[in-house]
Chains A and B, each alone.
Chain A
Amino acid sequence: MELHRLRTLGSTLPGIALGVAAALAAFTSPSAAQGWQPTRPVTFVIPAGTGGGADQMARFIQGIVTKHNLMNQPMVVVNKAGGAGLEGFLDMKGTPRDPHKLVITLSNLFTTPLATGTPFSWKDLTPVAMLALDQFVFWVNAESPYKSAQDYINAIKSGADHQYKMGGTGAKQEDQIITAAIERLTGGKKMTYVPFAGGGAVAVQLVGKHVDSTVNNPIEAVAQWKAGALRPLCIFDSKRSTYTAKVTETMAWSDIPTCKESGVDIEYQMLRGIFMAGGATPDQVAYYVGLFTRVMETPDWRQFMEQGAFNQTVMTGPQYRQWIESADKLHYDLMKEANFLAN
């Protein structure tokens, strides 16, 4: 089953994250002093629009770097959102070996080139670090009768074809991929996928009942959940979230069942990772690994991770590269199956 392959994406041991972070700290702290240092302002490219998940994270990182004075040069954030992020990626591809440029990625690193047939691949970039994996949660309006994912899937099964509407960000991107995966469990009934420009807008469309469900990232929908307007059905991860602090009066992130528990055997998480332009030298990569390690050590970062219920998996080096390779393959397979590939 394809679903098994989906599952490999999120399966990481909890210890790895801490272990890697500690190893990195030990490895980079001494070398950062005499190694490569930026000599010009560093441009941080966001291949997405303002206000979305990647934008929030990049601007937050810029805030931490500035606030804690972690870099000897300023960090400049630039949105290059055109063509579902292609603008940003092609910009990075166009300046190989420029060590003063970083890009934050989301799943469009894999999906956009596949959907548009544009000659770009992650191999044109140099992987630096995975900062976290972003979760996806299955949301419905709080006034809807569906208490569990199974309730909702049953409703889709017994409803008319295309009756239930799924709102999501972009076309042939992660939200629509998850929708395609859900449709394999609905007994041949399709959903109507409606693409919107950004995650915040998607959450509001669900609050306004213009769509029936969404698979928003936690940070995009948390405010509406807190206000009692949305209900989370399940989280698309192999295990429940580790954040146990109450978000609403009765529920914490950890109280949301996994989709598998609810009989919807789907897992999907999104890379929040950092890349440099192609052909970066090892000491340049080491510098940025050190920088991001220090970013992740700040209390601000921990708070941000909790707010957005991120899966705090950190990877660098060959392990990160391996993960990207498997994720690339996974997205190819998923998109091929859903018929999203460019001809």
Chain B
Amino acid sequence: MEELSALWGGFIVVLNPFNLALMIVGILLGVVIGVLPGLGGANGVAILLPLTFSMPPTSAIIMLSCIYWGALFGGAITSILFNIPGEPWSVATTFDGHPMAQQGKADEALTAAFTSSFVGALVAVIVITFLAPVVAKFALKFGPAELFAVQFLTFASFIGMGKGSPFKTLASMTLGFALASVGLDTVTGQLRMTFGTAELLTGFKFLTAVIGLFGIGEILASMETGLSFAGTHARLRLNAVIETWKKLPAYWATSIRSCIIGCWMGITPGGATPASFMSYGIAKRFSKNGERFGKGELEGVVAPETAAHAAGTSALLPMLTLGIPGSPTAAVLLGGLLIWGLQPGPLLFVEQKDFVWGLIASMYLGNLAGLVIVLTCVPLFAAILRIPFSIVAPAILVICAVGAYTVNNAMFDVWMMVMFGIVGYVFNKLGYPLPPLVLALVLGDMAESSFRQSMLLSQGSLTIFWSNELVGGIMTLGALLLSWPVIAWVLDKFREAKPA
């Protein structure tokens, strides 16, 4: 139990008034950053990084990592209230969180989101505390083929998502892939589909698309229905937190599954966004209430939030042990480590005990503090919905536009957002599902480069995806999930064929 004594040492480092104050400040800043679309956790940490140069490294990382936790919590708020994901990993939270808000159950959805986030983070920190060296070795096993297998599994677990025709799902996903391929091709170094314009060099930014598709699309749809918003007649329930907590234990299976998915995706640099999508897809597939997902199911909020937070937290592990960031925010923190005079890498745990265990202890305390802070604000957040929509809508539009502008500091992105808003509206009208498009847009790029790297390594042979147990296992699992609708259909036929 060497880890426990080290962790205790870490708590002693953290538990002084200065560090505790920094922790609270960090969480509050993080929640604000998470709420504002466009200003993601990575940007927030990058902007505040210079403030920390004069601090001792441990205090600095405590504050910055708390901003990160705060942003993870905050991302869920606008997703649920306004259907605008503040962060990429809260896109999946909108699928059920926003319908719940429309039914007047925003407080329940928020409580579930925050609590699940906390559970996910807690499990991830425990994994970091006790399994860091083992897990770091596991992460090394992930080459391009293994990464592609993971991305394939994400797509596979999501493919049956569309409520309507599978062809519409396919069309939507294909459009997403097409959009993802715009910009520089990382394997050949050639520009693709930029048509000679400088604006398209960087490709379509995921956040711009999401803010438009979901946020603007939603507002257009609400305007059509006469500026009414169902959530406004929600009663304010001060005991909502307790009431929701009573319901949550029923989803233990989903929660455990999501924790595993989240930790795994955070450690192998998959990241929080695919983790939340994969977890949502798998929960939908295996839940008893699967067919009600997308219409305001509490479980549909629990699954992505647990996984996103577990992944976001465990993403710090490869950063500390290997010096590879598991997420963009971790990448900025990595830069911070160097400025504070620390060398990230395999020896950090040995050479900088105070720093590492102080950070880990702050993960426990920071998440707990974060949970308390955001839960107290649940009635406040829910009350925002009581403001008449005709007043809120222009404010949301402005925030969306600012968010889209912030992504790249470019006006072009604001026009892009408006265009995506119209696309989102039309998609809704015609019954094309948006999630497959978003998933393809966010993962398409990574999946493509992993696939082509694998093909380079194997010189064009697909057998690389079954070349060892790890990659073969994941691919087979993905293939099974992909063909699940067919398998289920065959099983049904089989049962019908021999009536007992």
Contacts and interface: CB of A to CB of B under 8 A. Distances in A.
B326 to A, nearest CB: 11
Interface in B314-365: 322-325, 328, 331-332, 334-336, 338-339, 341, 343-347
Interface in A311-330: none
Interface stretch (B45-53, B73-81, B208-216, B259-267): B45-53
A342 B140 CA distance: 36
B328 A172 contact: no
Given A50-B331, A66-B53, A162-B459, A86 B345 contact: no
Contacts of B323: 200, 203-204, 223-224
A86 B198 CA distance: 9
Counting contact residues on chain A (CB < 8 A from B), the size range is 35 or more
Contacts of B463: none
Contacts of B202: 82-83, 87
A49 to B, nearest CB: 8
B334 A195 contact: no
A307 B323 CA distance: 15
Contacts of A115: 189-190
Contacts of B328: 50
Contacts of A24: none
A194 B334 contact: no
B190 A208 contact: no
Given A83-B191, A171-B188, A227-B347, A194 B331 contact: no
Interface residues of B, number: 51
Nearest to A49: B331
Interface in B33-59: 42, 46, 49-50, 53-54
Contacts of A78: 409
Contacts of A229: 346
A83 B197 CA distance: 12
B24 interface: no
A59 B49 contact: yes
Contact of B456 (A116, A118, A194, A200): A194
Contacts of B183: 82-83
B457 interface: yes
Q: Which of A62, A83, A171 has the most CB of B within 10 A?
A: A83
A90 B201 contact: yes
A116 B191 contact: yes
A208 B186 contact: no
A50 B46 contact: yes
A218 B43 CA distance: 27
Q: Which of B54, B183, B336, B345 has the most CB of A within 10 A?
A: B345
Interface stretch (B96-104, B114-122, B141-149, B158-166): B141-149
B470 to A, nearest CB: 11
Interface in B184-201: 184-191, 194, 198, 201
A55 B449 CA distance: 22
B203 interface: yes
